[in-house]
Amino acid sequence: MHFCILAAVLAGHALQTTAIAVSGAAEGFAKGVTGGGSASPVYPTTNDQLVQYLGDTTPRVIVLQKTFDFTGTEGTTSTSGCAPWGTASNCQVAINQNNWCKNYEPNAPTTSVTYDNAGVLGITVNSKKTILGQGSSGVIKGKGLRIVSGASNIIIQNIAISNINPHYVWGGDAITIDGADMVWIDHVKTSLIGRQHIVAGESADNRITISNCEIDGSSSWSATCDGHHYWALYFTGSNDLITLKGNYIHHTSGRSPKVSGNTVLHAVNNYWYANSGHAFEVGTGASIVAEGNAFQNVVSPIDAGTSGGQIFTAPTTSANAVCAANLGHTCQVNAFGSSGAFNSMGSTGFLSNFKGKNVASAAPASGVVASVTKNAGVGKV
């Protein structure tokens, strides 16, 4: 009997002391990020511990070994919202945040909403933090992460974030970045999110790399009422530098991503699949290079109605040689299957925005589908 108890204690101890470390290194604009560095790992067991470790000022490596479920922990709110996209059971409705319904959808029918308060505002993540999931067990449910107000040097790897008021627009974001720097999001899966899966807000975020992530837009509620989430990736910061590489972005219907606000975006070797609307929305100030990506069953890789920004879509090998002087390589042609046109907008002069910066490498699009489906998401490091 005593032997069994001792064995159980030792097994539990071994689980926590098994060596765990960041896998690989950030490519692209966030190259060199170190997160919590060599800090001894900590293993939160409660929601309160997780919040404390993420929000304090101590450099930390925080290992997630379980699901941290925040649903219901802060109560619910019942109030009036609106239904801009109809009242069918598969349509999202909107929380009237900051009087949004009145200001932007004044003719939409009103409806009652009851949402989980925990989802509306994410957990604060302070500087010098590494957040690692162990195996496939690191999950945050019902609440996202919030990296703001000067936070820097943060690594988020191999975790899942899910179930943030998926019925409701303005129900909450999975990862919010606003006024931060040197952030690497890698092998993260987001699903069933009310608003944005990843948002870089209006304040300057400087250097961000998002790699090998799965942005899963499948949902029973969407703004397009078709099971494809509309609000996916929203990059509207001031002079942000964002690398988007090796990600699997699927079952969305728009804004995957929306880019504006003088954001420089390098979208390389990503796989867009089953988008019922548009992928790129190119707003004022956007500077985008999209190369070596694969689009399958994407109705509109780019929203033809957008304007004011610039995007180079790497149309042919000969045209792509223009990249070399600024990105350090000839851009890779994109690949398409059952998808719409993907045309460049603006001149190529904006490519100088990439010169002298850490630019991710690019592989041919022919291998992207196999590579991304094998490697992107949680539990694959």
Question: Where residue 372 falls among pLDDT bands split at 50, 70, 90?
Answer: very high
pLDDT of residue 237: 87
User: Residue 300's domain spans which residues?
Assistant: 69-74+119-375
Give the residue from 136, 144, 140, 265 showing the smallest Cα distance to 197: 144
What's the Cα-to-Cα distance from 211 to each of 257, 259, 375, 381, rounded to whole Å?
A: 14, 17, 10, 12
Give the residue from 276, 297, 300, 279 showing the smallest Cα distance to 369: 297
| Non-local CB neighbours of 55 within 8 Å, separated by 6+ positions | 123, 124, 125, 126
204 found inside a domain: yes
What DSSP designation does 64 have?
E
Bond before 364 cis per omega within 30 degrees? no
At 232-283, the pLDDT tens digits run 999 998 889 999 999 999 999 999 999 999 999 999 999 999 999 999 999 9
Q: Please determine, for residue 7, whether its predicted confidence score (pLDDT) is greater than 90.
A: no
351 found inside a domain: yes
pLDDT of residue 18: 60
pLDDT of residue 308: 87
43 found inside a domain: no
pLDDT of residue 106: 97
124 found inside a domain: yes
User: Mind telling me the catalytic residues?
Assistant: 255
Give the residue from 225, 199, 185 showing the smallest Cα distance to 28: 185
- Alpha helix (H) ranges present in the chain? 2-17, 47-55, 100-104, 117-120, 324-327, 368-375
CATH number at residue 158: 2.160.20.10
pLDDT of residue 323: 98
15 found inside a domain: no
| Token pair for 380 | 């694959």
Q: Please determine, for residue 10, whether its predicted confidence score (pLDDT) is greater than 60.
A: no
At 14-38, the pLDDT tens digits run 445 566 899 999 999 999 999 999 9
247 found inside a domain: yes
In the chain, the number of structural domains is 1
At 221-244, the pLDDT tens digits run 999 999 999 999 999 988 899 999
306 found inside a domain: yes
165 found inside a domain: yes
pLDDT of residue 8: 42
366 vs 335: CA distance, rounded Å: 7
More confident residue, 2 or 97: 97
At 86-116, the pLDDT tens digits run 999 999 999 999 999 999 999 999 999 999 9
